[in-house]
Each structure stands twice: as C-alpha cells, then as structure tokens.
Amino acid sequence: MQVRRDMIDPELRRRGALMGRMLAARSEEQLRRGMSVPAVVDTWLRGRVPRGLTRDIELVTRPDGSTLRLFVYRSAAPTPEPGPALLWIHGGGYATGAAEYEASGFRALIGGSGAVVVTPDYRLSTEAPYPAALDDCYAALRWLRENADRLGARTDQIAVGGASAGGGLTAATTLLARDRGEIAVAFQMPIYPMIDDRGDNDSTRDNDAPIWDAVTNRSAWRMYLGDLAGTDDVPAYAAPARATDYAGLPPTMTYVGDIEAFRDETVRYVENLRAAGVPVEFREFPGAYHGFDAIVPKAAVSLAARAFRDQWFGYAARTFVAPQP
C-alpha cells in the first residue's frame, strides 16, 4: 500500500512526517541499535510512575537461572474489592521498547476497574529470537495467576493486552494458554497486533506509511524468527495469524488504523475469531497509521481509540470471568 499524504488524518500528518523521517525503512542493523531515544528521555520514561499509582518490581527466575523483571502497577488508593489482573505486554516490533514506557496508559485502566497491571521486561529479539519473548510472557502470566490473590486481584479475571508486537505476544500468549490448559484467560486486547510474518497482504506489501513500513516490518520479523524466518516452519505461537483453530480463545477487543501495515492481518484475525464463535469488538480508524494513538495522543482519532479501549475494558471487567482450572 502506497500511502499519500492526503490519506492521513490531518491531525496526524505533521508528527507522522517528522517521526517518519526519523524511523523510516529500518534495516536489521538499525533495529539492533534500537530506537533513537536519548538517554535522558529513556531514564525519565523508565523512572516515571503515573500519578495515583504505585509500582513494585517482582523477580521471576527463568529455567536458565537468569532473572525476568515484572513491574506491578496498582492504585495508590485502597480499592473496595478485587479487580481484574491484567498482563500488559509492551510493543516495539519485538526488537525495541521497554516495559516501563507504556505506564501512562495504565491510569485509566486501573482507575476505572481497580485492576492490577503486570508488565514483563521480556527479552527482545536483539537479545534472543523466538521463543524467548513468548517464554517470558507466559512465565509472567503464570506468575500472575499464582499471585493474583496476594496482589488483590481476581483469579477468575486474568486478562492479557498489548499493542503492536505487544499485541502479537498477547495473541500468542492466549493461544498458548488455551492449548496448555493451565491458565484461564478471561479476555484479551491485542491492539493493532503484529501477527503475520508473511507480509503477503495488500496493507503490508510495499506499505510506506509513517512509523512502521514494509521494510521495517520484514527486518523485525527476520530478527524475531531467527532461523525460522522465510520458512514454512513458523509456528502459530510465533506468528498467530498462522493459527488454524481459533475456538476457545477469550473475548477480544482490538482496533487498527486503515492505512497501516497491520490493517489486513488484524481484520483477518477478527474474522477468524468471529467465525469460531469468539465475542469480538473491533474498530478501524480512518487515516491512522501505526501507533497513531501514542504518536499524537491528543488527536481526535487517538482520543476516540483510547476511549474505545478503556470503555471496553470496563465492560469486560463487569462481564467476563474465567475460573482457573
């Protein structure tokens, strides 16, 4: 998809052009060097805790003896009753980003439901390819199930969410949880998820929209998949669009911009879930490129997208339960 300027929402154009010049057409080597976040900004993003919330750090030991950090966000004020336990997985194309970067979005989720949010500092593809990130996310989900009572959260309302690669890992983690049968997930929010490594749909092929284009997408998938890249052996746990059985997956909310690379794979994922009888709430936002709601948070389309997310999360917290096996 070739994206013309007039196809982009007017409020998204200026910053999209600026960010596009900074992030356009990244190679694997450029991704390995990471996003151009100045050290002072990185320190600020990692250190901030949104007003009204508390943050604790928990440690989980991996099978190899290394340590996985989990950040636990809760309301600073007492909550009248336990709320959902949300595993939130950060984005960044599997290659960049950090667990602490997305904390500002937790205030609305926690304030409206009394949720406890746990976000894992999973291994990026620059450290280790698939399945390292998925192993870490599933370990975090298991930890959340085992510690929900201690955290003041409901064990029958464990949810998973994330955007971009975090959305892809959301879909993969819930798929793995369904298949293993060890943890019941009540609902999921894979937002504009990165789930199809093949790049053979119209929205991904030759996409040159700001922030995340076809070249960057191919580079990121090659890094994440390692030796599996370009083969027919890629499992659905690595690229959930390759799944053939969607039955039994949890109720789902997602949204996507109509000019971004992940538009078609998101629509197909929604269609497959609905065909399998899974309740789905989905919206497509016109003129929106990848990550629009984070890049231009005050744009009308971004405010509408976040309102949709937050309202659905409140609805899901009142509606969906999944007792643990």
At residue 26 the predicted structure's pLDDT band, cuts being 50, 70 and 90, is low
Question: Was domain 5-319 assigned CATH 3.50.30.30?
Answer: no
**Sequence-distant (≥ 6) Cβ neighbours of residue 306 within 8 angstroms:** 105, 108, 293, 297
Extents of the domains making up the chain: 5-319
- Is pLDDT larger for residue 197 or for residue 19? 197
Judge whether 229 and 222 are in contact, CB under 8 Å.
yes
Average of pLDDT values for 50-73?
A: 95
pLDDT at site 261? 95
pLDDT at site 198? 95
Predicted TM-score of the model (pTM): 0.94
At residue 154 the predicted structure's pLDDT band, cuts being 50, 70 and 90, is very high
Average of pLDDT values for 275-295?
A: 97
At residue 41 the predicted structure's pLDDT band, cuts being 50, 70 and 90, is low
**17-21 contact pairs (CB < 8 A, 24+):** 17/210, 19/210, 19/211, 19/295, 20/209, 20/210, 20/211
Average of pLDDT values for 161-181?
A: 98
At residue 23 the predicted structure's pLDDT band, cuts being 50, 70 and 90, is low
Average of pLDDT values for 248-277?
A: 98
Residue 270 has pLDDT above 70, yes or no: yes
Judge whether 50 and 83 are in contact, CB under 8 Å.
no
Query: Whole-number mean pLDDT of the chain?
Result: 92
pLDDT at site 50? 81
Q: For 139-151, write each residue's pLDDT tens digit.
A: 999 999 999 999 9
User: Residue 137 corresponds to which tokens in the numbers above?
Assistant: 């996310």
DSSP codes, 262-320: THHHHHHHHHHHHHTT--EEEEEETT--TTHHHHSTTSHHHHHHHHHHHHHHHHHHHH-
At residue 126 the predicted structure's pLDDT band, cuts being 50, 70 and 90, is very high
At residue 48 the predicted structure's pLDDT band, cuts being 50, 70 and 90, is confident
